[in-house]
Amino acid sequence: MSASGTAAAGQVEHMLRQVTPGRYDAYEALLQALADGRVWMLLWHGQAGSPDAQYGNMEVDGLGYAPCVTSAEELSASGWTRAHEVVAGADVARALFPDRWGIWLNPHAPGGGVGIPWPDLRRIATGLDRMPAGPLRLTEPAIEIPQFYALLTQNAHRTPVVRSLRRAWVQPSLGAPYLAIGLDLYDTGRQSVESVRAMMQQSIAAVPDGLPVSTVAMSDDYDPVAMWLRASTRPFYDREAHAGPPRQPGYGYPPAQSR
């Protein structure tokens, strides 16, 4: 391994030693070290680089993890006798999170090591600065901003690609809380996304100064905010509900013609 690779691995081990319950800042620094560093993935089956290579697996609190170690020294200390492969942290994050697998660092160590669940691997894969630091506290917004919601609803109704809108108050473990608007769209093509971006820009004018507002795609099966919105909220704007039920035959309406 190169000197830079060794240094990155050393940084992962250094930050791992700082992580304790409640130290979200240290955990966040560990995620950054993993994004820049490497891990030694333990192979349950096959050899490194072979088509049949398969990571080991373990389950903790209902979540799946692939065990790994943080250095050649930790590999030796673990007593692992099967094959392994050295992988960039960002690469293993991209490979595992879509199947909802995390990694577990040094499970052989005193105390059992530290698990990185798949939502945090997703953050590593897509950019730690692009997504809020978990665990997230998600609630219905308590702040009263009727002017913003009214303007947003009006603009959404004028934007045909918008099916519905939901909202959540998001409190990250680190950083400022913010209002999240869940966007459920009929189409996610470039032109549609541009029209929604314009809709939000027109509506943000009604947001009080200092209130952060973000958007989340309801079609994202991996975003924790979108997952919570789907499970726990109802839309505050729903185009199909707004349109009302189909007109039924009756007074003033002819019955449907059979063909």
The strand pairing partners of 214, in sequence order, are 180
Q: Answer for the pair 5, 35: CB distance below 8 angstroms, yes or no.
A: no
Could you tell me which of 5, 13, 53 has the C-alpha nearest to residue 30? 13
Give residue 9's pLDDT.
58
Same-domain check for residues 58 and 159: no
Q: What is the pTM of this model?
A: 0.84
Residues 103, 169 share a domain: no
**In the 3-class helix/strand/coil scheme, how is 196-254 assigned residue by residue?**
HHHHHHHHHHHCCCCCCEEEEECCCCCCHHHHHHHHHCCCCEEHHHHHCCCCCCECCEC
Three-class secondary structure of residue 137 per DSSP: strand
Where is the domain boundary, 130, 159, 186?
130
The H or E element spanning position 183 is: strand 178-185
Q: Which of 130, 161, 181 is the last residue of a domain?
A: 130
The reply to whether 148 and 52 lie within a common domain is no
126 and 154 housed in the same domain = no
* CA–CA gap between residue 201 and residue 87 (Å, rounded): 41
Q: What is the pLDDT of residue 81?
A: 95
Residues 117 and 148 in one domain: no
- Which of 102, 130, 158 lies at the terminal end of a domain, its last residue? 130
Q: 11 with 125, same domain?
A: yes
**Pair 141, 123 in one domain:** no
Q: Could you check whether the bond before residue 135 is cis, i.e. omega within 30 degrees of 0? A: yes
Q: Which residues pair with 137 in a beta bridge?
A: 171
Q: Which CATH number do you get for residue 233? A: 3.30.300
Please give the pLDDT value at position 10.
Answer: 84
The answer to whether residues 103 and 148 belong to one domain is: no
Q: Do 87 and 8 touch, CB atoms closer than 8 A?
A: no
Rounded distance, CA 124 to CA 214, Å? Answer: 20
Q: Is position 211 within any domain?
A: yes
* Number of domains making up the chain: 2
| pLDDT tens for each residue of the chain, 259 residues long | 544 445 555 899 999 999 999 999 999 999 999 999 999 999 999 999 888 999 999 999 999 999 999 999 999 999 999 999 999 999 999 999 999 999 999 999 999 999 999 999 999 999 999 999 989 999 999 999 999 999 999 999 999 999 999 999 999 999 999 999 999 999 999 999 999 999 999 999 999 999 999 999 999 999 999 999 999 999 999 999 866 544 444 333 344 444 3
Which residues form the domain of 209? 137-243
